[in-house]
Chains A and B, each alone.
Chain A
Amino acid sequence: MRSRRWSIHFWQAVIVIVVLLIWEYGTQVPWITRHIKILDPFFISTPSRIVQRFIELSNPALPVTLPERVLSTLAHTIVGFFVGVSTGFLAGLYLGRDRYLAAVFEPFIIAFNTLPRIALVPLVTLLFGFGSLAKIMMAWLICFFIVFFNTFEGVKNVDRDIVNSARMLGATRGQIMRTVYLPAALGWTFASLTPAISFALIGVVIGEFLGGDQGIGYLIILSLATLESADMMVALIVLAAVGIALALIVRRAERYLLRWQPRYYAPTDGAD
């Protein structure tokens, strides 16, 4: 198994090297750049130029350095994510338990949910300006609904017999909430966290497209205005790295918190 894994890594490395070589040297052959537009360095720059701009953009002498941009995007995403997840979770938990409230709110929630959230970016910018608040609000809006819907479904799907067995064991309403609804819904909630963090990042970046002068999104828009494709590539690569890192962290947390679910451990054959 081990050698197989290494051979997979080997071929992945080969692909990366081949792509980088074509990118670096293919883009310097006039015939290629004339006929294949996507390989024109005007659009995609070159790896060496990207590395060079990466270093230049990180220069501490700049008014806003690249690490500061990353931090800004990251901070807005994470704050929005936490606020969105906690509010979405609580709303889902309580609305899922109260069938009456759920019935009252259902049409509004569905109407709001069908609206593409990205379409709300201009409205959020209008309301909250070009600063941090607007970006956080965007991430919050997105995370809230993703987490809310999943948690809501999770609570509605809690096994009635498990609830009844808790009642028969003498649980109070609060104890049933804590020991049955909450952990049962958590499985559903956590399933929504990986998409939530990814979409939160999208929301923040789009917010940055529209306004302000911080963040990775602003760097992308700026590079479009200045026709500096190397800067755009730097921004995209950093953004991909940030996205992957966030998703991995969330998945780790999910794995730990849902360790009771069969898919997270190798099942042992229980014998009677």
Chain B
Amino acid sequence: MTSLPHPRELSQPADVRIRIDSLHRRFQLKDREVVALGDVTFDVADHEFVSLIGPSGCGKSTVLNIAAGLMTPTSGSVHIDGELVTRPLAKVGYIFQKDTTFPWKTVEDNIGIGLAYRGVPAEERRRRVAEMVRMAKLEGFEKAYPAMLSGGMRQRVALMRSFIVEPEVLMMDEPFGALDTHTRLNLHDELLRLWERTRQVILFVTHDLSEAITLSDRIVLLSHRPSRVKAIVDIPLKRPRDVITLRETPEYLEIYRDLWHLLGEEFQLESEG
């Protein structure tokens, strides 16, 4: 086991929005106890797109669930804008890997549901939903039910459903993990275009290295379970990024190689342990 630097030395962004402090989480299984999170600490600054990557089962999603207020840590804490997270906050949006569109609602009703929850008048809701539908290129499918759509279209609906309520912080748990490469690249492009307009804080969980590099400002690399922050890497690729051509630039390839190396050490540990 390599000795890790103190997390706070790894990165110190200026205007912190999300502060994740010494997160520790144990799970009680039937016959044994699993320590998912050893000690996870990092910050996310304003307007930052941060990806969380690591070997499978390292607790990336656990960090996200705790940060979203859907799960409680065994110890440690998450603060968003100074507020301790104990339940879902109104300013935080969340996108799941699994399709969580409401199958009993049409595309437009799905996209508008967050506005309906907030009591936004029907007229304004219609207008904003129409705009989102146009942006997601879902015209003609407004009245369709999710089961009639492809996986990619459904995830687009989920994306728009979160963006329409304009969350200040958006957490995404492998949102494109179940999609084919082509669809995934399209959605990367769409996500980046949406994000360029508003630049909200995004915390993005993935196990796909190229996805993380394409999208992020910084990448937080978690170690094998019980996970700690192994490295925090800046991605200085300039924006706006073209998700296709970006992959051919030498800068991208260099970052990819470095990260692959770091990640590889974890895979090795995984197979040994």
Contacts and interface: CB of A to CB of B under 8 A. Distances in A.
Interface string B65-91: 000101000000000000000001010
B187 to A, nearest CB: 9
B150 A159 contact: no
A272 B118 CA distance: 31
9 closest Cβ pairs, A-B complex: A270-B150, A168-B94, A165-B100, A183-B104, A169-B114, A270-B149, A260-B145, A262-B147, A272-B152
Contacts of A162: 100, 102
A91 interface: no
A11 interface: no
B224 interface: no
B96 interface: yes
21 contacts: A162-B100, A164-B94, A165-B94, A165-B96, A166-B102, A168-B162, A169-B161, A169-B165, A170-B88, A170-B114, A184-B104, A259-B145, A260-B103, A267-B147, A268-B148, A270-B149, A270-B150, A271-B150, A272-B152, A272-B182, A272-B186
B113 interface: yes
Contacts of A260: 103-106, 145, 147
A172 B70 contact: no
Given A165-B100, A179-B117, A183-B102, 7 more contacts: A159-B100, A164-B100, A168-B88, A169-B162, A170-B90, A259-B145, A267-B147
B92 interface: yes
A39 B93 CA distance: 73
Contact of B102 (A172, A180, A270, A272): A180
Contacts of A179: 102, 105, 113, 116-117
Given A169-B117, A170-B165, A272 B93 contact: no
Contacts of A184: 104
Interface of B: 68, 70, 88, 90, 92-94, 96, 98, 100, 102-106, 113-114, 116-118, 141, 144-145, 147-150, 152-153, 158, 161-162, 165, 182-183, 186
A132 B161 CA distance: 52
B54 to A, nearest CB: 21
B190 to A, nearest CB: 11
A197 to B, nearest CB: 23
Contacts of B68: 168
Contacts, number: 86
B70 A167 contact: yes
A261 interface: yes
A168 B103 contact: no
Contacts of B114: 169-170
Interface string A137-175: 000000000000000000000010110111111111001
A105 interface: no
Nearest to A162: B100
Interface in A183-205: 183-184, 186-187
A256 interface: no
Contact of A161 (B100, B149, B150): B100
A171 B103 CA distance: 17
Contacts of A171: 117
Interface residues of A, number: 30
A180 B103 CA distance: 10
B103 A261 contact: yes
Contacts of B106: 260
A31 interface: no
Contacts of A270: 141, 144, 148-150, 153
Contact of B96 (A164, A265, A268): A164
B94 A272 contact: no
Contacts of A175: 117
Contacts of A267: 147-148
B106 to A, nearest CB: 8
A164 B68 CA distance: 10
Contacts of A170: 88, 90, 114, 117-118, 165
A191 to B, nearest CB: 14
A270 B153 CA distance: 8
B88 A167 contact: yes
Nearest to A167: B88
A234 to B, nearest CB: 44
Contacts of B98: 159, 161
A221 B93 CA distance: 66
Contacts of B96: 161, 164-165
Contacts of A265: 145, 148
A168 B104 contact: no
A33 to B, nearest CB: 58
Contacts of A261: 103, 147
A272 B150 contact: yes
A184 B103 CA distance: 9
B193 to A, nearest CB: 16
Contacts of B90: 170
Nearest to B147: A262
